[in-house]
Amino acid sequence: MELIVAKGREDLVKARRGGAVALVPTMGALHEGHRSLIRQARVRADQVVVSIFVNPLQFGPSEDFSRYPRTFDADLDVCRAEGVDVVFHPDAAEMYASDRQVSVSAGHMGSIVEGAFRPGHFDGVLTVVLKLFNLVQPDLAVFGQKDAQQLALIRRMVADLDLPIEILGAPTVREPDGLALSSRNRYLSEDDRQVALALSRALRAGAAEFTPARVRAVAQEVLDAAGSRLATDYLALVDPATFAEVDESYAGPAVLAVAATVGTTRLIDNVTLTFNPA
Ligand code: AMP
């Protein structure tokens, strides 16, 4: 089947076939991580829609919106190769009326951990995702665990606003040396890349420990050992559903999350671990 490129609501309505629809929201510059999400969608749905939209609302004024990689033609090739049915590629003007008023608030959970360093980011993410849900009307949507707080907030939005959409989380795809794939990795020089490996190394080392205090301490040691070229924003050990820091008596799954800048590139990564009851 020919890949359909939809620019707006009417194109999406025309492309609808019946059967289960899966949406994979992306900002493009597609890599193996995105491909794994598309494959998961393919397994579960009759029709797969990939959205490609660099959402201005989720970038802060000093962030990398204008230099975010845009590789639309190559992205179309990836979508064709993965058997995607529809690529939704709206213009910013199509998505956001200049006099728009109403948006989604991510609440307290959007202002902690990653949200503390990117004010308004999660409001922008949830607003665009809700709009994409309303435009595409999928039965299910696939998001990466790579952006764990985003995934948790989307699950909350679906629960809190009663959206009739199943949310699937997909595991983080990594390079053989551990670096989590990211569209922003292409900004890294070979030297930067070596420094950036401290993120996944710290998470692996932390996840091998058995108490919250040890997990934090061991991961922090690895980050410190990377030296001054790695500027860490946070290392957080949190409840995956709320992103609240876990205490020493915590039992159950937890997310160890890190954000750091290498050169001019800001990277995030996380792993999930489980604490057994004492
Ligand atoms: P982005 O294009 O960076 O906004 O990401 C689009 C989707 O791909 C999000 O749900 C991300 O969590 C997911 N994603 C990004 N990188 C990876 C990765 N390395 N492994 C799995 N999913 C990823």
| Domain end residue (candidates: 112, 138, 170) | 170
Q: Residue 150 sits in which domain range?
A: 4-170
Query: Per-residue DSSP letters for 34-84?
Result: HHHHHHHHHHH-SEEEEEE---GGGS-TTSSTTTS---HHHHHHHHHHTT-
Same domain (yes/no): 157, 231: no
pLDDT at 173: 98
Same domain, 8 and 91: yes
Is 239 labelled as part of a ligand binding site? Answer: no
- Can you list the alpha helix ranges (DSSP code H) found in 59-185? 72-81, 92-95, 114-117, 121-136, 148-160
Spacing, Cα 148 to ligand 1 middle (Å): 10
Which of 141, 170, 199 marks a domain boundary?
A: 170
- Do 198 and 149 have their domain in common? no
pLDDT grade, residue 123 (50/70/90)?
A: very high
Substitution candidate for ligand 1 out of 26, 39, 84, 272 with most atoms within 8 A of CB = 26
87 in the same domain as 8: yes
* Atom of ligand 1 minimally distant from the CA of 37: 22
Phi, psi angle pair for 106, to nearest 5°: -80, 0
Shared-domain flag, residues 194 and 141: no
Ligand 1 centroid distance, CA of 249 (Å): 32
Boundary (domain end) residue, out of 170, 191, 209:
170
Q: Among 39, 71, 146, 183, name the best residue to mutate to test ligand 1's pocket (greatest count of ligand atoms within 8 A of Cβ).
A: 146
Q: Are residues 95 and 158 in the same domain?
A: yes
Distance CA 56, CA 107 (A): 20
Tell me if 181 is assigned to a ligand binding site: yes
For the chain, the domain total comes to 2
* Residue 156 is assigned to a structural domain of this protein: yes
Asked, for residue 82, whether it belongs to a domain, the answer is yes
Strand partners, 22: 48, 140
- 1 CB-side CA count, 13 A: 14
Same domain, 10 and 94: yes
Asked whether residue 225 falls in the same domain as residue 152, the answer is: no
With the most atoms of ligand 1 within 8 angstroms of its CB, the residue from 23, 36, 37, 270 to mutate is 37
Report the CATH number that the domain containing residue 204 is assigned in CATH: 3.30.1300.10
Q: What is the pLDDT of residues 127-154, one digit of tens each?
A: 999 999 999 999 999 999 999 999 999 9
- Ligand 1 atom with minimal separation from the 146 CA: 12
For residues 243 and 115, membership in a common domain is answered with no
Instruction: Tell me, using a 6 A CB cutoff, whether residue 172 lines ligand 1.
Output: yes
Residue 237 lies in a domain: yes
Residue 175 lies in a domain: no
CATH code, domain carrying 43:
3.40.50.620
Q: Which of 161, 157, 152, 199 is nearest to 177 (CA)?
A: 199
Clarify whether 34 is annotated catalytic.
Answer: yes
Contact 148, 203 (CB under 8 A): no
Q: How far is the CA of 34 from the centre of ligand 1 (A)?
A: 6
Q: Is the pLDDT of residue 1 over 90?
A: no
Q: How far is the CA of 170 from the centre of ligand 1 (A)?
A: 9
Which pLDDT band, with edges at 50, 70 and 90, does 188 fall under? Answer: very high
Same domain, yes or no: 35 and 109: yes
Residue-wise pLDDT for 62-76, tens only, equals 999 999 999 999 999
- How far lies 114's CA from each of 17, 51, 81, 118, in Å? 38, 24, 34, 6
Residue 177 included in any domain:
no
> What pLDDT is attached to residue 253?
98
pTM over 0.75: yes
Assigned domain for 145 exists:
yes
54 and 133 both lie in a single domain: yes
Mean pLDDT for the stretch of residues 216-229? 97
Kindly list the strands in the beta sheet with 166-170, ordered across the sheet, starting from the edge strand earlier in the chain.
Answer: 4-6, 86-88, 47-52, 21-26, 140-144, 166-170
Residue 278 lies in a domain: no
Closest ligand 1 atom, CA of 171?
21
Q: Which atom of ligand 1 is nearest to the CA of 145?
A: 12
User: Which of 34, 89, 108, 121 is labelled catalytic?
Assistant: 34
Evaluate whether residue 265 is within a structural domain: yes
- Does residue 256 share a domain with residue 218? yes
Please name which of 109, 117, 81, 88 lies closest in space to residue 27, comparing C-alpha atoms. 88
